Structure 1
Amino acid sequence: MKNLLYQCAMIAVKSGKVALQYYGLEDFKLKSDSSPITQADLESNALLMRELQAHSPYQVCSEEAVLDYEKRKDLEYYWLIDPLDGTKDFLAQNGGWTINIALIHKKRPILGVVYAPVFHQLFIALKGFGSFTYEQESLKVALESDNLTLMWLEENKCKLTGERIIEDSEIIACDSMFHSTKETQEFMQKYQLKVQKYGSSLKVCALAEGRADIYPRFNGTSEWDIAACEIVLEEAGGVILDCLTKKPLEYNKPSVRNHHFVAFAKSQVGKAIYRDVLDSVYKS
């Protein structure tokens, strides 16, 4: 399974190269839910589906090619991917978009890869093995020199312990660039949180890195938005609490929509805000 993790990282990087070919272009269409879709989404999706099926026996459920519930409900394993998480960030050219790959086993992610091509940020995680990232400049050099290999990925990974690495004494909360809500703002004010804006899955990854403390999400997300980064956070000692069930998110549901949630870095687990969420202060 470790080799499959590194193979997925290579596939994500390959997908990122494809998406970058369209970065800077403003052409897009609107899907039925009024969210934008670009040629980068479609090309990345095609590559990911092809590569994942070539390297494993598992079926793929993607934002751009949803595997019907009747076909996936009894699957023990399947891939859950977002070929371009943060299309609005992609169109805004702020760099805050990612390629997300997760392997679902019995309703929970057990393997995750999150790759932000513009920032040269790569996060990988495997249940029971740990959560890791890579020094951005080293990854950039490896990519530019075409030296990125499975061995390089294995030898250069940096373990994420979830320990806080920021000196700020205030609690740092992540918020979305484009999807903040009134409820989110009220949550921030109630707990006097200092806000940092991130795009896509990078909000949850910032918690895993120890660069932020909490991420409340009180509007819609889908399973493919969160699966990969959730295992990254979980293996770094953090947790995402579903505001309705008070448990980690559940996957392979009839509906791919998630309940509202609050994600906590390791440093916040068990503390006041965490206890408030468990005590039903915030509900979906």
Structure 2
Amino acid sequence: MTIALPADASALENGLIEIARRAGAAMMKIYDTDFEIRSKDDASPVTEADDAAEAVILPGLRALTPNVKIVSEESAAAGDIPDVNGDTDFFWLVDPLDGTKEFIKRNGEFTVNIALIAKGAPVLGVVYAPAIEKLYYGGPDGAKLIEGNGDVDDTTRAITVRDMPEDGVVVVGSRSHGDPEAMKAFLGDLAVKELRPAGSSLKLCLLAEGVADLYPRLGPTMEWDIGAGHAVLAAAGGVVENMDGTRFAYGKADFRNPFFIARSPSVPVTYQS
């Protein structure tokens, strides 16, 4: 599927990376302070770092692409949800701080997620983990990992999914959510070398980086939780699909995701009806 982007691809890439880094910096100013933790209507936690990151991202995206709608987690929680058509519209999908529970635990596994959705699919995405200084980017020219804090000593390398290892797959799962019995039932007789927990959308990025192979998500998520990671994984040659093997689409009426499978294409799975 060839899609004309709403701005020059290099301008979008540079702009997204800059916005993500600035949002990460805003988070890190709060990370080691005695920050307040609140509960949203769905009982999930939120902190002032979520708000600070969103306050950077939204004006940055509006300046970058003035005519593209933005769906962002914290704004959506406050009732500010633009009307988007997942079949036709471009829109930004934002989780200003993905992995708030990991932020609260101060384990470093939280990210800034920004994805550009077009015709129901993520076409660009950036996932930035400021505490561990890793930034993943995916777009039409492939996926890459930038390690460093944004200065001249950063290292950049292209990343791709790997072929299924002969000694068994590395399966990633949520560090703070998940059902071990459901995971065991899903994996069945698949040869598994390691079950590796990880926070936030880093799970999708580990597949894109070629250090893990399979991520079955057997619990609730929202589109903004995975859109950016999906963009990175797709650019690296991986797939995200519904449990029955059908296309995973964005722009659903309530932005809620069904259970899904993210994987390297070389990893066989048994689809569920």
**Which of the five TM-score ranges fits, normalised by the shorter chain?**
0.7 to 0.9
* Percent of aligned pairs with the same amino acid: 33
Residue by residue over 1:102-157, the C-alpha shift from the partner in whole angstroms, topping out at 9 and shown as x without a partner, is 0111111111000000111111111x3111112x2xx23x44xxx59xxx8xxx53
Per mean C-alpha deviation after superposition, the further-off stretch among 192-201 and 179-188 is: 179-188
Structure 1 residue 28 corresponds to structure 2 residue 37: yes
Q: 2:171 aligns with which of 165, 170, 173?
A: 173
Please say if residues 204 and 229 of structure 2, whose CA atoms lie closer than 8 Å, have aligned partners that are also in contact: yes
Tell me the TM-score normalized by structure 2. 0.87
Letter in 1 for 2:89: E
2:211, 2:40 → 1: CA distance? 34
Q: Residue in 2 aligned with 1:226?
A: 226
SS at match of 2:74: coil
Structure 1 residue 46 corresponds to structure 2 residue 59: no
Q: Residue in 2 aligned with 1:6?
A: 14
Cα 1:129/1:63, change in 2 over 3 Å = same
Residue by residue over 1:197-251, the C-alpha shift from the partner in whole angstroms, topping out at 9 and shown as x without a partner, is 110000010001110010011110000011111111111111011114x223211
Q: Residue in 2 aligned with 1:249?
A: 248
Structure 1 residue 73 corresponds to structure 2 residue 85: yes
Letter in 1 for 2:238: G
Q: Residue in 2 aligned with 1:235?
A: 235
2:176, 2:118 → 1: CA distance? 31
Please say if residues 89 and 95 of structure 1, whose CA atoms lie closer than 8 Å, have aligned partners that are also in contact: yes
Tell me the TM-score normalized by structure 1. 0.84
SS at match of 1:169: coil
Residue by residue over 1:46-76, the C-alpha shift from the partner in whole angstroms, topping out at 9 and shown as x without a partner, is 110011101112121100112536x222762
Cα 1:101/1:209, change in 2 over 3 Å = same
Structure 1 residue 105 corresponds to structure 2 residue 118: yes
Please say if residues 182 and 218 of structure 2, whose CA atoms lie closer than 8 Å, have aligned partners that are also in contact: yes
1:22, distance to aligned residue in structure 2 (A): 1.2
Please say if residues 77 and 105 of structure 1, whose CA atoms lie closer than 8 Å, have aligned partners that are also in contact: yes
Please say if residues 240 and 261 of structure 1, whose CA atoms lie closer than 8 Å, have aligned partners that are also in contact: yes
> Matches of residues 96-135 of structure 1 in structure 2 within 5 Å?
96-126=109-139, 128-134=140-146
How many residue pairs are counted as aligned between the two chains?
A: 257
Say which structure is richer in helix. 1
Q: Residue in 2 aligned with 1:162?
A: 161
1:159, distance to aligned residue in structure 2 (A): 1.3
Please say if residues 53 and 97 of structure 2, whose CA atoms lie closer than 8 Å, have aligned partners that are also in contact: yes
Q: Residue in 2 aligned with 1:92?
A: 105
Residue by residue over 1:243-267, the C-alpha shift from the partner in whole angstroms, topping out at 9 and shown as x without a partner, is 14x2232111111100100110244
Q: Residue in 1 aligned with 2:6?
A: none
Say which structure is richer in strand. 2
Gaps of 5+ in 1: none
SS at match of 1:60: strand
1:120, 1:129 → 2: CA distance? 23
CA RMSD of aligned residues (A): 2.1
1:189, distance to aligned residue in structure 2 (A): 5.8
1:198, 1:241 → 2: CA distance? 20
1:263, 1:167 → 2: CA distance? 16
Letter in 2 for 1:11: I
Please say if residues 239 and 248 of structure 1, whose CA atoms lie closer than 8 Å, have aligned partners that are also in contact: no
1:199, 1:262 → 2: CA distance? 17
Q: Residue in 1 aligned with 2:4?
A: none
